[in-house]
Chains A and B, each alone.
Chain A
């Protein structure tokens, strides 16, 4: 016999309760899962974003520091160059002044005559030629004629050689030149410039390191000296 109506109703009520129960459980599961996934997802996003932001600003801070270092280095460089430039300017002025003072010797005919003789002799010794031409300033012609004689005597005494010197009376050194001579081998391109200016130029260029030390003292920052 089939169940009574009351029993059926009871069954149905049971089943309804069961369905409800299952739904409740399922919903709770879903909620729990939701919370868990919420935390995981939020944590993940926060972490990855935080790392990105940190790295970004760390890098920017490094850039700022780098810039500052570069700026400081540049400023230091500029400062050093400034000091060196001042040094060079003073040095150039000193050499100019020295050049101007070369004329002091030409004022004394005695001293200048001796000088000319030595300059010419030096040229003869250097060239070791039988024929030479001497060129000088127009105003020195007289002194040079005598000087040539003395120089040749000196030359022959030391070397036993002879030399014939012709003085160039057509081309002269500019009167701007402080003093001295040029000596040439005739029909040749060989020339010795033995003027006071050329001597001074050679001296200053060879002695620049020593001149700098005498003027400015030793450079404490310098590491290599040869």
Chain B
């Protein structure tokens, strides 16, 4: 029965080949899944770089980092700092002017009060005197 054995061998070979093909498919699947991870990582890295660039732009805009040339002139002052400095200077000079205008008047006012002495008797003592109680 050589033909029987041959037939069986053919079948066995076919089975083996079939199993190999399925195994290969499974290998491809595993590889594909790995690719998923790799591709996801690459894309996300790209996204991260892009987002970071946006962030750096935002940061620079918020901080208003002056150009090196301006730094020499104004120092590393932001626009807010410059505005506050300006307002402060004007407040101080306005205050100094007001002071200058009024100081003499205020000094005189204080001196007048200092020299204006009014000796007064306590109201209770006044009442005592009125009621005719004997003096202490």
Decide: B21 and A203 in contact? CB cutoff 8 A. Answer: no
Known interface pairs A23-B21, A102-B114, A118-B119; A57-B51 also in contact (CB < 8 Å) = yes
Decide: B43 and A98 in contact? CB cutoff 8 A. Answer: no
Decide: B125 and A128 in contact? CB cutoff 8 A. Answer: yes
Cβ of A160 to closest chain B Cβ, rounded Å: 5
Cβ of A58 to closest chain B Cβ, rounded Å: 9
Which of under 10, 10 to 19, 20 to 34, or 35 or more describes the interface residues of A? 35 or more
In the bound complex, what is the Cα–Cα distance between A8 and B3 (angstroms)? 8
Known interface pairs A15-B11, A27-B21, A75-B80; A34-B32 also in contact (CB < 8 Å) = yes
Decide: B80 and A72 in contact? CB cutoff 8 A. Answer: yes
Interface string of B81-97 (1 = CB under 8 A from A): 10011011001100110
**Which secondary structure dominates chain B's binding surface?**
helix
Partner of A215, one of B58, B99, B118, B119: B99
Binds B, one of A76-84, A132-140, A164-172: A76-84
Cβ of A46 to closest chain B Cβ, rounded Å: 5
Partner of A12, one of B7, B78, B118: B7
Residues of A within 8 A of B55 (CB): 57, 60-61
Decide: B18 and A34 in contact? CB cutoff 8 A. Answer: no
Residues of B within 8 A of A214 (CB): 102, 105-106, 109
Given contacts A34-B28, A86-B92, A207-B110, 6 further A-B contacts (CB under 8 A): A8-B7, A41-B36, A42-B39, A94-B106, A125-B122, A159-B135
- 30 CB contacts below 8 A, A to B, read A9-B7, A19-B15, A22-B18, A27-B24, A30-B26, A30-B29, A35-B32, A38-B33, A41-B40, A53-B44, A53-B51, A57-B51, A60-B55, A72-B80, A75-B81, A86-B92, A94-B103, A94-B106, A102-B114, A111-B115, A115-B115, A118-B118, A118-B119, A126-B122, A158-B121, A196-B114, A199-B117, A207-B113, A216-B98, A217-B98
